[in-house]
Structure 1
Amino acid sequence: MLRGSIVALVTPMLASGEVDWDSLGHLVEYHVASGTSAIVAVGTTGESVTLSEAEHLAVVEKTVALAAGRIPVIAGCGSNNTAHAISLSRQLEHMGVVAGLSVTPYYNKPTQEGLYRHYCAIADASGLPQILYNVPGRTACDLKPETVGRLASHANIIGIKEATGDLTRTPLLRELCGEAFALYSGDDATGCDFMLQGGDGVISVTSNIAAAQMAQMCRAALAQESDKARAINERLMPLHRTLFIEPNPIPVKWACAQLDLIASATLRLPLTELTQPGETAMQQALKSAELIASV
């Protein structure tokens, strides 16, 4: 089981909108050097919804090649079209990724039974281990703990990224799913407490720009060194909050460019560049986390 700080990696793009392969290489090296536990390539933070399928697969393949066995790679493979999610999982199965991250179907608003059948269909059709991803704030669809408990009995469904920020779910998910089922927070602001309650790690946006600090915080939380974990997390809290001041990944891409982790903060429409008030807030958050110098 992967544990610790797992980065929900941005997909760097040139000003033209094409994928920036040089910056992707820089990001992978940064995370290897910083102690990040794993990379999620082309998850929702990686703008999966605006990449073509060919680009999606190419970014995953290149990320695995750049990682060269030094850091595990998880691939985004979710869709609100079950057949498409199955197709993606099958194509990713032989690319060297350790698992797929599959977001709940957005817009469709399926029932809990529909969600159960959706994920079982994917897990039955592909040998790629599946990590469920619940983020109702972006999908209008909530994968309830009881449904997760049903899905946890499937041999090919190995964990969940739980991004509600509702810490009352952590012990319930552990009770329903068992110790072998991986529980990852998808909410940076509550990730520390999530791990202190028995979670296994965080699939993190903040890790894009504060990778070493997130890795240190996660190690402390997993070791139940609560004072140390919370002290690190407190320094990161302005980042956790401000990175969502505008829709993700707008702020984090801007911050990555400011820290020279990528060459450009380019996004694809319908996302647009960070506003001036957003830039001011992000600059202050970067200073608070001591990622840039205070004037």
Structure 2
Amino acid sequence: MTAPLPPFGRALCAMITPFTAAGELDPDAAGRHAAALVADGCDGLVLNGTTGESPTTSDAEKTALLRAVREAVGGRVPIVAGVGSADTRHTVELARQAERAGADGLLVVTPYYSRPPQAAVEAHFRRVADATGLPLMLYDIPGRTGTRVEPETLLRLAGHPRVVAVKDCAYDLMGSTRVIGATSLAYYSGCEELNLPLYAVGAAGYVSTVANVAPGPLRAVLDAFDAGDTAGATRLNLLTAPLTRAMMGAGLPGAVTAKALLGAGSVREPLQPAGRGAADGLREVYAELLSALDQL
């Protein structure tokens, strides 16, 4: 087994995209949030992904967000730019724009809606990988795209010099373990409930929506595991589990729940903001986590 290297760090946040009250991109708020995340333990940021509401932001806004965050954090942490779309040509253009704007890597999701077969999925990723000099993190999230990146496809793509990582939302621990063991791909959990299990079988870390509001507690799980304190890692993981359930498993998208907890402005339609009851429930769970951590 070749241990996967963490090309983008271990503890990555899938960052929200702040909007003003009028629904416009708020680059200043984005910069402040990015700087706070880095100060609180994130060693990588992923922009313009699912949590960043990428389906409803324009190409120009994606570039402006990237530049604002780069200015705020400088070179302290890697920035991975989401460039996925349903159109290979558009994805290639987004990749080139992200490279020019200062991204350190690209997050590329499986083309959605058209449900391409595996040969076409592989060809899509290779086209994007060949379009720039940046390393790629492939985003396997069949629950949203309708198409899995099968382990056999990942095994082949691992031979491409710029395909270096996977954001794993496939909920297939056996398949992920197989690819981790057979390649040098750096696996990042994209589902917080699998952060610790995947890390224990050789993943590089996580890309987390919950890290928008709890970057320190999530990172502490990995720190404890790395220190050999597996019991401590388990305890910390169990403490964060209720917040994960509240933010990611209660029927609202993560962008909505993260913004509700952060007071980070509006979401773009078709998303709708969390209602008062949902927001109050989120704040209650978050307060309980902070209280439990204070008692450790």
Is TM > 0.5 for Structure 1 vs Structure 2? yes
What residue ranges of structure 2 are gaps of 5+ in the alignment? Answer: 1-6
What does residue range 130-145 of structure 1 map to in structure 2 within 5 Å? 130-145=136-151
Pick aligned residue for 1:107 from 103, 113, 116: 113
Q: Are the equivalent residues in 2 in contact too, given 1:100–1:128 (CA < 8 A)?
A: yes
Deviation at 1:26, TM superposition (A): 1.8
Q: Is residue 2:290 matched to residue 1:290?
A: yes
Deviation at 1:124, TM superposition (A): 1.4
Worse-matched range after superposition: 113-122 or 157-166: 157-166
- Equivalence for 2:3: none
- Equivalence for 1:210: 214
- Equivalence for 1:271: 271
Deviation at 1:219, TM superposition (A): 2.2
- Equivalence for 2:21: 15
Runs (4+) off by over 6 Å: none
What whole-Å deviation, never above 9, does each CA across 1:69-91 have from its counterpart, x for those lacking one? 12221111111100011111112
- Equivalence for 2:229: 225
Pick aligned residue for 2:165 from 140, 159, 168: 159
Any idea what SS the aligned residue of 1:92 has?
helix
TM-score normalised per structure 1: 0.92
> Quick one: structure 1 residues 88 and 143, their matched pair in 2 at CA, closer, same or farther if it must change by over 3 Å?
same
- Equivalence for 1:189: 193
Pick aligned residue for 2:202 from 198, 202, 207: 198
Any idea what SS the aligned residue of 1:243 has?
helix
What whole-Å deviation, never above 9, does each CA across 1:136-189 have from its counterpart, x for those lacking one? 11111111111111111001111100112332233211123x2x3211010001
- Equivalence for 2:98: 92
TM-score normalised per structure 2: 0.91
- Equivalence for 2:243: 239
Q: Partners in 1 of 2:255 and 2:103 — Cα distance?
A: 23
What whole-Å deviation, never above 9, does each CA across 1:51-80 have from its counterpart, x for those lacking one? 111111110111111111122211111111
Q: Partners in 2 of 1:13 and 1:194 — Cα distance?
A: 33
Q: Is residue 2:139 matched to residue 1:146?
A: no
Any idea what SS the aligned residue of 2:290 has?
coil
Pick aligned residue for 2:60 from 54, 63, 70: 54
Residue identity matched to 2:268 = R
